[in-house]
Chains A and B, each alone.
Chain A
Amino acid sequence: MPEVISRAAPPAPETDEAPARRTAAQRVIQLLDAVWRPALLLVLLVFGWWAITAAEVFPAYLVPAPGDVANELIEEREMLARHTWVTTYETVLGFLLAAAIGMLAAVLIVYSPTLEKALYPLILFAQVIPKIAIAPILVVWFGFGPMPKVILAVLIAFFPVVVSGVAGLRSTDPELLDLSATMGASRWKTFRKIRFPNALPHLLSGLKVAVTLAVVGAVVGEFVGADEGLGYVLLLASGNLNSSLLFADLILMSALGVVLFVMVEVAEKLLIPWHASRRQGVPLTTS
Chain B
Amino acid sequence: MPETMTTQPAAAAGEQRAATTIDITDLTCTFTSKRKRTTALTDVSLSVEAGEFVSIVGPSGCGKSTLLKIVAGLVPPSSGDVRLLGNPVTGPQREIGFAFQRAALLEWRGVRANILLQAEMRNMDKRQAAARADQLIELTGLTGFESALPHELSGGMQQRVALCRALLHEPPVLLMDEPFGALDALTREHMNVELHRIWRETGTTVVLVTHSIAEAVYLGQRVVVMTPRPGRIERVYDVDLPAVRDYGATMSSSTFEELAREIRVLLGASGHHG
Contact = CB atoms under 8 A, between A and B. Distances in A.
A189 B123 CA distance: 11
A1 B247 CA distance: 12
B108 A182 contact: no
A269 to B, nearest CB: 13
Nearest to A184: B94
Interface string A252-287: 000000000000000000001011100100011111
A3 B190 contact: yes
Contacts of A185: 121-122
A4 interface: yes
A77 B145 CA distance: 54
A91 to B, nearest CB: 30
Contacts of A283: 151-152
A18 interface: yes
Contact of B92 (A5, A17, A181, A284): A181
B271 interface: no
B265 interface: no
A78 interface: no
Interface stretch (A6-14, A107-115, A221-229): A6-14
B233 to A, nearest CB: 23
A183 interface: yes
B117 interface: yes
B18 interface: no
B28 to A, nearest CB: 21
A33 interface: no
A13 B120 CA distance: 28
Contacts of B154: 8, 285-287
Interface string B186-227: 010010011001000000000000000000000000000000
B92 A182 contact: yes
A250 to B, nearest CB: 40
Interface residues of A, number: 39
A16 B111 CA distance: 11
Given A178-B98, A179-B104, A285-B157, A18 B122 contact: no
A45 interface: no
Given A272-B108, A287-B154, A13 B92 contact: no
Given A16-B144, A18-B144, A182-B93, A175 B152 contact: no
A7 B154 CA distance: 11
B120 A193 contact: yes
Contacts of A205: none
Given A8-B157, A175-B102, A181 B152 contact: no
B108 A16 contact: no
B104 A173 contact: yes
B157 A179 contact: no
A183 B153 CA distance: 24
Interface string B130-167: 00000000000110111111011111110010000000
A193 B72 contact: no
Interface in B53-98: 69, 72-74, 92-94, 96, 98
A187 B153 CA distance: 29
Q: Counting chain B CB atoms within 10 Å of each CB, which of A179, A184, A189 scores highest?
A: A179
A180 B121 contact: yes
B122 A183 contact: yes
Interface in A159-195: 173, 175-176, 178-185, 189-190, 193-194
B125 interface: no
A287 B153 CA distance: 9
A197 interface: yes
B218 to A, nearest CB: 15
27 contacts: A1-B197, A4-B141, A7-B190, A9-B141, A13-B144, A16-B144, A16-B147, A18-B148, A18-B152, A19-B152, A173-B102, A176-B106, A178-B74, A181-B73, A183-B94, A185-B121, A189-B120, A190-B121, A194-B106, A198-B107, A275-B107, A276-B151, A283-B151, A283-B152, A284-B148, A284-B152, A284-B153
Given A179-B104, A182-B94, 6 more contacts: A4-B190, A16-B147, A183-B94, A193-B106, A194-B106, A284-B153
- Closest 10 CB pairs between A and B? A183-B121, A181-B92, A18-B148, A5-B141, A185-B121, A274-B108, A13-B144, A284-B152, A184-B94, A175-B104
Interface of B: 69, 72-74, 92-94, 96, 98, 100, 102, 104, 106-108, 117-118, 120-122, 141-142, 144-149, 151-157, 160, 184, 187, 190, 193-194, 197
